[in-house]
Amino acid sequence: MSSDDLLMRIDGDGRIVSWSLAAARLFGRPQSRVIGSDVTRLLRGTNDEEPVIPLAACDSLTVRPVLSGAALTWEVRIAESDLISAGDLSILRALFTHSPLGLYLLDQELRIVRVNDAVRRSPVYESGSSIGETFPTIGLEDPAGERKIAHQVLTTGVPVLNRVVRTAHRNGVRRRSLALSYVRLEGENGEILGIVASAVDVTARERALQSIFVLEQLRSVAGEQLEVTAVCRELANAVVPAFAGIVVIEVIDDVIRGDEPPVAPVDQDVPLRRTAFQGLVSAYSVGDVRQLPAGTPFSLVLIDLRARLVRVEKDSPWLPADPARANAIARSNAHSLIVAPLAIRGQALGLVSFYRHRDEEPFDEEDIAVAEDICCHAAVHIDNARRYTRERTIAATLKRRLLPQRPVAPSTAAVSHLHVPGQGGGGAWFDVIELAGGRTALILGDVAGRGISTATTMGQLRTVIHSLAAMDLEPDELMARLNDTATRLATERAALPAGDPQHREPLTAGCLIAVYDAVDQTCTFVRAGLTQPYLTLPNGDSGDIAVPAGPLLAGNDHSPFPAATIELPAGSTLAIGNEDILETSDQIRGLLRTSTDRRLEEVCDELSYILGDKADTEKLLLLARAKGLPADRVLTLGFDDEFAAAPKARDATRRKLEDWNVDQDAAFTTELIVSELVGNAVRYGTPPYRLRLILDNRLTCEVRDAGNNAPHLKHARTIDEGGRGLFIIATIADSWGTRYHEVGKTIWAQQDIGSALGPPASSP
């Protein structure tokens, strides 16, 4: 053995007569404090200090007698197997004197043998430094559980690192978070010596992580919501119980409707709506609207938009101003409150009240910053939802004004529609347009997108449809002209500045046009996108109508729009829908098959029940049931290219008008119209010729010939002998026009003869 392993010499009386530098480093006591001391005192310690030489350390020491002159002394040395280098001693000394970690040296019975200076200095560990007591003596939430973990490490040798635990609740002392680690101590021969346990105060870190967690929870859910009350519900779910035990969210009522939020200070008479609550007892139900009472922390927050930390006590002076709230606070055992504003750009959206109750830690000043961060983040989402609500309201109002206020009820078909706006609405629309000759145009369109721009585009296309329908175009040509307009609108949108939102949204629209002819009992279809219509015959047979698919409107596809014509007997029900409403639901198809004798309004109500849980997107369904036109309400007369054609046509017309009980004034006007139409056809047209009179809600006179020359309305001079035919017709008829066919044309004129109608048209 060398002199480096000598720690001390003890005389025969048990007093220390020599204390080496190695002993001073190992046991942390200088020579001046131990020379002459009784060694048993250093082993037992006193009431004021722990033992200088821990009992557990004696297993690593060797003691042998040595003669010093005539006296017998005892040398205490470090066992050869446990010799520690000077560097190791320096490291141990630093750990036990300067390390910020609280270190505990435990024996095999988990008794505390030694603690370092960090344990003595920190108030967190002040109750856990009793030498000889079983670890842990710190006031933890679950000391038995920690003892079990430490024993497991002692048994298995597998270390446990950074186990975060909480201290137990004590009155007047804020609970802390500790990171505990356990490592087993073993000798050179593998014998188990004990455990080193370390404790680090990580309260600040855990609180920061908790704040980040709450904000991340809020970001992950609130950003997906575009409705104010939904954002508030997600906010309440995110903060309870992670940050507070109770939360109350109140938003200015006008903000929920999308109006501009008021600038602080907010007037006392501004009503707030309780939009969300999480907790035990609520003073008011969610959805309740009321003004905040003056002289409370809640009203003060809306004056200066400053968060407040409030202690809740029985004699708090602001509680009597709101008895219902005071009662809920008392019943919930709430003791700490933070009231924070929901504000953005100096404008008040509402406020959030965070409560802690029962054995929860009271809020402190640091929690105010967390509450403000939560409310600032939530305010951004609430304002986004408010803006979306405002835009949606404007778009819905605009669309409502652009859609038919009172859809036309044609005499030749019963029509009803089902409209489910979905979330945020969309660009679906429909039209029912009566055409000349007992025909009805059924139109359903859908502009992709939502919002004001989509509603505006829908209105533009609908206006074009009405203008083109007045020209009495064939369905395929009508669709082609509509596509031309949609293409121009798309080109204008693409030319907008890059920063304009519409520049990034290409215009895409679908449309289906069905023209039902009640005289011929046929229906002609043309579709641009959209799904195939669905037909149910009077006998219950049903199926899709094979209408060739044309390109979407404004799709930069120059393909034609092919038309398909089918027979449509009276009593048949036609269904036209957007999306895939008719393709994906067998329940809808089954209802249409079995509802041939039910009113269409009842069928639409039944369909709305089926679609009740599928309203994520806008749904529009147009139903039409063909009535047909009785044969006795139609006069068809062919005539030759001869001078007597006009008189013969007038005679046949007069007789038919007498059968229909049309009064003399209306009959005279009709005869004049027929005479002029037939005369113009004979003079300018090409045979064969055909006259047709149709009586439904109005009286229609049609003359068809095989020529393609276009008639022109002329304002004849007083000295001209001819040229007044169409001018006369335009003067005495309610409307007139020209309809071109694949071969030839039809010139028609309509009159509203009112009470001159005979018996009503029969219905199937």
DSSP string covering 181-208 = EEEEEE-TTS-EEEEEEEEEE-HHHHHH
Q: Are residues 611 and 656 in the same domain?
A: no
| pLDDT for position 720 | 41
Sign of CA dihedral 382, 385, 389, 395: positive
Q: Are residues 481 and 600 in the same domain?
A: yes
Q: What span, in angstroms and rounded, lies between the C-alpha atoms of 430 and 458?
A: 10
CA angle 754, 760, 764 (to 5 degrees): 145
Side-chain-facing half-sphere of 403: CA atoms under 13 Å: 19
Tokens describing residue 83: 């010799």
pTM of the model: 0.62
397 occurs within a structural domain: no
Closest to 569 in 3D by CA, of 593, 543, 604, 539: 539
Q: Are residues 194 and 309 in the same domain?
A: no
Q: Are residues 77 and 139 in the same domain?
A: no
Containing H/E element for 454?
Answer: helix 452-469
CB 526 within 8 A of CB 479: yes
Q: What is the pLDDT of residues 290-320, one digit of tens each?
A: 999 988 999 999 999 999 999 898 888 999 9
Please tell me whether residue 606 adopts helix, strand or coil conformation. Answer: helix
Q: How many CB atoms lie within 10 A of CB 562?
A: 14
User: What is the DSSP code string of 611-646?
Assistant: TTT-TTS-EEEEEEEE----GGGEEEEEE-SSTTHH
| pLDDT for position 412 | 87
User: What is the DSSP code string of 418-442?
Assistant: EEE--SS--EEEEEEEEETTTEEEE
401 occurs within a structural domain: no
For residue 447, what are the β-bridge partners? 427, 509
The CA-to-CA distance between both ends of the chain, in Å, stands at 123
Q: Which amino acid is at 407?
A: P
Q: Which amino acid is at 715?
A: H
402 occurs within a structural domain: no
763 occurs within a structural domain: no
Instruction: Tell me which of 360, 392, 424 is where a domain ends.
Output: 392
206 occurs within a structural domain: no
| pLDDT for position 764 | 38
331 occurs within a structural domain: yes
Containing H/E element for 232?
Answer: helix 228-239
Count how many domains the chain has.
Answer: 5
Q: Are residues 226 and 347 in the same domain?
A: yes
Side-chain-facing half-sphere of 425: CA atoms under 13 Å: 22
651 occurs within a structural domain: yes
Tokens describing residue 647: 């008189």
Q: Which amino acid is at 345?
A: R
Q: What span, in angstroms and rounded, lies between the C-alpha atoms of 508 and 258?
A: 29
The one-character DSSP state at 173 is B
Closest to 725 in 3D by CA, of 667, 683, 665, 689: 683
Q: Which residue has the tokens 């709230």?
A: 325
Q: What span, in angstroms and rounded, lies between the C-alpha atoms of 711 and 593?
A: 46
- The residue count of the chain comes to 764
Which CATH number fits the domain that encloses residue 317? Answer: 3.30.450.40
Phi first, then psi, for residue 641 (nearest 5°) are -85, 80
Going through 327-426 in order, the beta strands assigned E by DSSP cover 334-344, 347-357, 413-420
Tokens describing residue 496: 């907008």
Q: What span, in angstroms and rounded, lies between the C-alpha atoms of 57 and 532?
A: 92
Which CATH number fits the domain that encloses residue 6? Answer: 3.30.450
| pLDDT for position 511 | 94
CA angle 386, 250, 233 (to 5 degrees): 70
Q: What span, in angstroms and rounded, lies between the C-alpha atoms of 153 and 182?
A: 7
For residue 524, what are the β-bridge partners? 515, 565
Q: Are residues 584 and 485 in the same domain?
A: yes
Task: State CA 759 to chain mean position distance.
Answer: 57
Q: Which amino acid is at 30?
A: P
Instruction: Tell me which of 148, 179, 201 is where a domain ends.
Output: 201
Side-chain-facing half-sphere of 80: CA atoms under 13 Å: 2
Q: What span, in angstroms and rounded, lies between the C-alpha atoms of 459 and 467?
A: 12
Q: What is the pLDDT of residues 267-282, one digit of tens each?
A: 888 999 999 999 988 9
Q: What span, in angstroms and rounded, lies between the C-alpha atoms of 701 and 673?
A: 8
Which CATH number fits the domain that encloses residue 119? Answer: 3.30.450.20
Residue 194 backbone zone (phi > 0: left; psi -120 to 50: alpha; other: beta): left
Q: Are residues 287 and 351 in the same domain?
A: yes
Q: Are residues 219 and 290 in the same domain?
A: yes
Closest to 531 in 3D by CA, of 573, 488, 601, 583: 583
| pLDDT for position 762 | 44
Q: Are residues 244 and 307 in the same domain?
A: yes
Task: State CA 234 to chain mean position distance.
Answer: 11
| pLDDT for position 84 | 46
Parent domain of 560: 409-626
Which CATH number fits the domain that encloses residue 669? Answer: 3.30.565.10
Please tell me whether residue 222 adopts helix, strand or coil conformation. Answer: helix
Please tell me whether residue 716 adopts helix, strand or coil conformation. Answer: coil
Axis crossing angle, helix 203-222 with helix 228-239, rounded to the nearest 10: 160
501 occurs within a structural domain: yes
Burial class (CB in 10 A: 0-12, 13-18, 19+), 564: middle
Cis amide linkage into residue 136, ω under 30° from 0: yes
CB 596 within 8 A of CB 538: yes
Please tell me whether residue 730 adopts helix, strand or coil conformation. Answer: helix
Q: Are residues 288 and 419 in the same domain?
A: no
Which CATH number fits the domain that encloses residue 596? Answer: 3.60.40.10
Closest to 442 in 3D by CA, of 518, 507, 508: 518
Containing H/E element for 667?
Answer: helix 664-684
Phi first, then psi, for residue 508 (nearest 5°) are -135, 130
| pLDDT for position 573 | 93
Please tell me whether residue 6 adopts helix, strand or coil conformation. Answer: strand
Containing H/E element for 704?
Answer: strand 699-705
Q: Are residues 82 and 104 in the same domain?
A: no
Tokens describing residue 492: 């204008």
Q: Which amino acid is at 151?
A: H
Side-chain-facing half-sphere of 673: CA atoms under 13 Å: 30
Tokens describing residue 622: 């147009």
Q: How many CB atoms lie within 10 A of CB 71?
A: 10
Q: Are residues 658 and 597 in the same domain?
A: no
Residues in the chain predicted with pLDDT less than 50, given as ranges, are 81-84, 86, 128, 716-723, 758, 760-764
Instruction: Tell me which of 163, 179, 201 is where a domain ends.
Output: 201
